[in-house]
C-alpha cells in the first residue's frame, strides 16, 4: 500500500449532480428547480423569517411591554450585611471602595442600603441611596449616612 494507490471505499462517494446538461441527463429543462416562482429564478435569496407567504411568527406574536431606558437599578445592601462587615473589620467607614474590595458590588453598581436587620456599631456609611428605616437605624446607632453624588 502506497499513498498514490489509496482510494475511497467503494460506494462511499458520489459523483456531483450535473444540472442543466440536456434532457437526457434527467436534470435538464428546469434544472431541478421546478416550474416558475421565485426559487426557480436566478438571484433569489429568501429573507430571514420568510414562511412562504404565511404570516411570519414575528408578526403573528403581539408586541407588549416597555423597556425604560432611564431606569436606575440598585444593588441592595441590608443593615444585617453592614453589621457583619463592621464586626469582621476594624474600620468605621463603609464606603464604595470598601464594598468593592470585599466583593459585594462591582465598580459600576449603584448601592442602596435597606433596613432589614439591625446595626449596633457606630459606622459612617456611604451609598447612592438609603431607605428611611435604614437611615434612622444607622443614625440611632451613632453612625452617619453619606449620599454619593455622581
pTM of the full structure? 0.57
Kindly give, in sequence order, each residue whose CB lies less than 8 Å from that of residue 80, ignoring residues fewer than 6 positions away. 116, 117, 118, 119
Kindly give, in sequence order, each residue whose CB lies less than 8 Å from that of residue 73, ignoring residues fewer than 6 positions away. 110
Q: Domain ranges in the chain?
A: 75-147
Distance CA 77, CA 99 (A): 10
CATH fold for the domain made of 75-147? Ribosomal Protein L15; Chain: K; domain 2 (3.100.10)
- 150 residues of the chain, pLDDT tens digit each: 899 999 999 999 999 999 999 999 999 999 999 999 888 999 999 899 999 889 999 999 999 999 999 999 999 999 998 898 888 787 788 889 999 998 889 999 999 999 999 998 889 999 999 999 999 999 999 999 999 876
Amino acid at each position: 500500500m502506497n499513498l498514490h494507490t489509496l482510494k475511497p471505499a467503494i460506494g462511499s462517494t458520489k459523483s456531483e449532480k450535473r444540472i442543466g446538461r440536456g434532457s437526457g441527463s434527467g436534470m435538464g429543462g428546469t434544472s431541478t428547480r421546478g416550474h416558475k416562482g421565485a426559487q426557480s429564478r436566478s438571484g433569489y435569496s429568501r429573507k430571514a423569517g420568510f414562511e412562504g407567504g404565511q404570516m411570519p411568527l414575528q408578526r403573528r406574536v403581539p408586541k407588549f411591554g416597555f423597556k425604560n431606558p432611564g431606569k436606575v437599578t440598585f444593588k441592595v445592601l441590608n443593615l444585617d450585611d453592614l453589621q457583619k462587615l463592621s464586626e469582621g473589620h476594624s474600620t468605621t467607614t463603609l464606603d464604595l471602595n470598601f464594598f468593592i474590595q470585599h466583593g459585594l458590588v462591582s465598580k459600576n453598581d449603584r448601592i442602596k442600603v435597606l433596613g432589614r436587620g439591625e446595626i449596633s456599631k457606630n459606622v459612617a456609611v456611604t451609598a447612592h441611596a438609603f431607605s428611611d428605616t435604614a437611615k434612622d437605624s444607622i443614625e440611632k446607632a451613632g453612625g452617619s449616612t453619606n449620599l454619593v453624588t455622581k
